[in-house]
Chains A and B, each alone.
Chain A
């Protein structure tokens, strides 16, 4: 069984999609209101704002097969974590992220000089994780999804 490989981590591509949709910004030089989007980690240093988004790569599933190439297409596991100082802020950003990922449809996207064909981003679950245990009592939400895409060129 041949599975098509992609050169970029899917989490990076999802982050770029969220940045393009003005959901957040790249982490360098961010202030607390601007929602930096990290990939593969949710940092907790004093210099990092409370309001952050993190996109993680997770285990995916291999389900679909390309009729043209005979290759199997992996649906990449994606997790998006949202952290904020209070519940209403976290919830409103959670809804904004859901709206942004729901707009992903059959379309081309260029990322790092590679053209990808995006198929869809299928949500598998989205829910509140409640408060963090420490004194800051920040709120967290989690969104899990399967992301289908292939390399065009």
Chain B
């Protein structure tokens, strides 16, 4: 399951990307990494805990690429992660909500990191 959000939907961020140079790639990578860690932490606050295995399986992985194509993946790595995410009575959507409820903060982290 993949949730995707492209910063190309955001006018302020798009303006920043107009003045492209290689240092911007580096700053974007760092900002994405910070945003990814933030979403991971927020998801860990929402995830239902029984043994703690699901909560502790959270990972972020930054893939640095040139020309502003970097991406960050946030994942939970136990076999029942998707099942809990989709069907848990009160703790479902722990990752999706962490991102959707914090779009403003994620945007702030990205803009601050790239400025």
Contacts and interface: CB of A to CB of B under 8 A. Distances in A.
Interface residue tally on A, bucketed by range? 10 to 19
B103 interface: yes
A49 interface: no
How would you classify the secondary structure of chain B's contact residues: helix, strand, loop or mixed? helix
Interface residue tally on B, bucketed by range? 10 to 19
B77 interface: no
Interface in B77-115: 82-83, 86-87, 93, 96-97, 100-101, 103
B23 interface: no
B2 interface: yes
B1 A125 contact: yes
Interface in A74-105: 77, 79, 81
A59 B83 contact: no
How would you classify the secondary structure of chain A's contact residues: helix, strand, loop or mixed? strand
A3 interface: no
Interface in B1-53: 1-3, 9
Interface string A103-141: 000000000000000000000110101100000000010
A142 interface: yes
Contact of A81 (B82, B87, B96, B103): B87
A8 B3 CA distance: 27
A60 interface: yes
Contact of A59 (B1, B2, B101): B101
A140 B1 CA distance: 15
* Central interface residue in B87, B93, B97, by most chain A CB within 10 Å: B87
A142 B103 contact: no
B86 to A, nearest CB: 5
A61 interface: yes
A140 B87 CA distance: 10
Nearest to A124: B3
A137 B75 CA distance: 27
Given A140-B87, A142-B86, A127 B97 contact: no
A61 B97 CA distance: 10
A79 B87 CA distance: 10
Contact of B82 (A63, A124, A129): A129
Interface of A: 42, 58-61, 63, 77, 79, 81, 124-125, 127, 129-130, 140, 142, 144
12 contacts: A58-B93, A58-B96, A60-B100, A61-B100, A77-B93, A77-B100, A79-B93, A125-B3, A129-B83, A129-B87, A130-B83, A142-B87
